[in-house]
Structure 1
Amino acid sequence: MLLSDFWAQQQFSYLVTYSFQRGPKLIALKKQLQQELVTARYMRRAAIQRQIDELKRPSLTLTKGLGPVHSTATAVARLAAGSVEAQQLSYELQISTKQEWYAMCTPIYRDALAFYNEANELISILNIYFHCCFMCTDQLEAVEADMATYDILRAFLIRLGCTDNYLCVREQSG
């Protein structure tokens, strides 16, 4: 599915941008679990170790289906569907795919746009991995976009307040 098609399908009241699987929240959670492991009773240690191991294995997406967001997720910004920012992004995402990109790595999604309805129910997610330029929906359907679109999305998220280096850096080939 093309990104412009994905965007056109979204009937949302507001969207939230998330950053996850990195940053201070991940570091604090790992530290907390390590401390708990040291003082835990024998029967609790296995469960804590499983949580630590899960944090070492990157989760595929922001949520499993439309369930709760990843434990390391931080909401960066919330935009109403009719806001200037959301309208500008909608306009910019209408770029047709000219330069196709085929990811040669396994995506570790670290950014997402989550779409909510007026009842505050999560209705759709666009997971984004900037390092290899790959996106997928909450249903794990690949979403195709022009290379320029990733630059647009990166700039958009930075304008909204995302400051993580994973977002800002993309390896250049050749």
Structure 2
Amino acid sequence: MLLFSYLQHYLTRFLKKKRTYIYTDAPDYIESLDFDYIETYSFQRGEEYEQNLAHIRKEYEILKRRKEKGKRLTTDEKERLNKLHELLGYTQYLLNKRGQFHPSSKKINVFTNGDPIIDKIKQILRTEIRETPKWLCAPEYRDSMVFYDKSGKIISVLNVCLSCEYMATDMFHQIKGDRKTYYLLKKFFIEIGHEVEDPEHFVLEEMERVKESMNKKNTKRL
């Protein structure tokens, strides 16, 4: 009986700590936000970022190997290892769990209510969801929109991976969008000055060309 009580106690604690994933459609997400202005950010990209990433990876591997071999780390080294693990061991979002901006983040734009750009953002995220992308790759978020209320408080952060076509506000809250949503978002980020990877390549356009080619072949066969 005592053992059962202990098991029940720890199971309850585990379930309380365990978080479940939330999935929200992009149209519902944008409609739920009551914001005053938006900032757009670019992060995890650029030559400086890549050079720094290579440097901290080496540092991380050295500290990690020392720990694995049982060598004693100083307090500062332990803190540094934990910090590097947060940066290299998990999917990165614009804000970490402490509300700190990613060290590579760069603010690109600020748009306030009344700006036509705000209406464009809303229109893009309201795109009807007909086909959700399902790429077999892990997202690497490089573009983001931060929504603020009138007091300057962050009410939501939308992280966007244009390569794998993912959106999320954090690790446990994913935002679902249509293929066209990502097509429009990529065009949008390019237009407002984000240095988007492969700016000439659009997955949706490529898929349309393939479909058109297949339709022509099928027509010829008939």
TM-score (norm 1): 0.79
1:83 aligns with 2:106: no
Counterpart in the other structure of 1:12: 35
Moved more, 71-80 or 56-65: 56-65
Structure 1 range deviating more: 18-27 or 108-117? 18-27
Report what 2:193 is aligned to.
161
Distance 1:131 1:19, change over 3 A: same
Within a 5 Å distance, the mapping from 1:7-156 to structure 2 comes to 7-27=30-50, 29-30=52-53, 48=80, 51=83, 54-57=86-89, 59-65=91-97, 67-138=99-170, 140-156=172-188
After superposition, what is the alpha-carbon deviation per residue over 1:79-104, rounded to whole angstroms, capped at 9, x for unaligned? 11221111122123222111222232
**By how many angstroms is 1:114 displaced?**
0.9
Q: Deviations over 1:43-89 (max 9, x none)?
A: 55665565556544454311124712111111111111221111122
Cα deviation code 1:8-55 (max 9, x no counterpart): 111111111111122245246458869x9xxxxx95566556555654
Matched residue type, 2:26: L
Relative to the length of structure 2, the TM-score reads 0.63
Please give the alpha-carbon distance, in whole angstroms, between the structure 1 residues aligned to 2:118 and 2:80: 40
Name whichever of 98-107 and 72-81 sits farther off: 98-107
Distance 1:154 1:83, change over 3 A: same
**Whole-Å Cα distance in 2 between the matches of residues 160 and 3 of structure 1?**
21
What is the root-mean-square deviation in Å for CA atoms of aligned residues?
A: 3.1
Contact persistence 2:94–2:101 (CA under 8 A): yes
Which residue number in structure 2 is paired with residue 39 of structure 1? none
What percentage of residue pairs aligned between the two structures are identical?
A: 24
Change (3 A) 1:30 1:91: closer
**Bigger mean CA offset, 56-65 vs 87-96:** 56-65
Tell me if structure 2 keeps the 8 A contact 1:99–1:146.
yes
Q: Secondary structure at the match of 2:195?
A: coil
What is the rounded CA distance, in whole Å, between the counterparts of 1:166 and 1:109 in structure 2?
15
Distance 1:143 1:103 in 2: 15
Structure with greater Cα Rg: 2
Residue 132 of structure 1 aligns with an amino acid whose one-letter code is C
Q: Which runs of 5+ in 1 are unaligned?
A: 37-41
Q: CA 1:165–1:9 in 2, change beyond 3 Å: closer, same or farther?
A: same
Deviation at 1:168, TM superposition (A): 6.1
Distance, in Å, in 1 between the alignment partners of 2:199 and 2:31 is 25
Count of aligned residue pairs for this structure pair: 170
Aligned partner of 2:19 in structure 1 is: none
Are the structure 2 counterparts of residues 24 and 121 from structure 1 closer, same or farther at C-alpha, using a change threshold of 3 Å?
farther
Query: Whose helix fraction is larger, Structure 1's or Structure 2's?
Result: 2
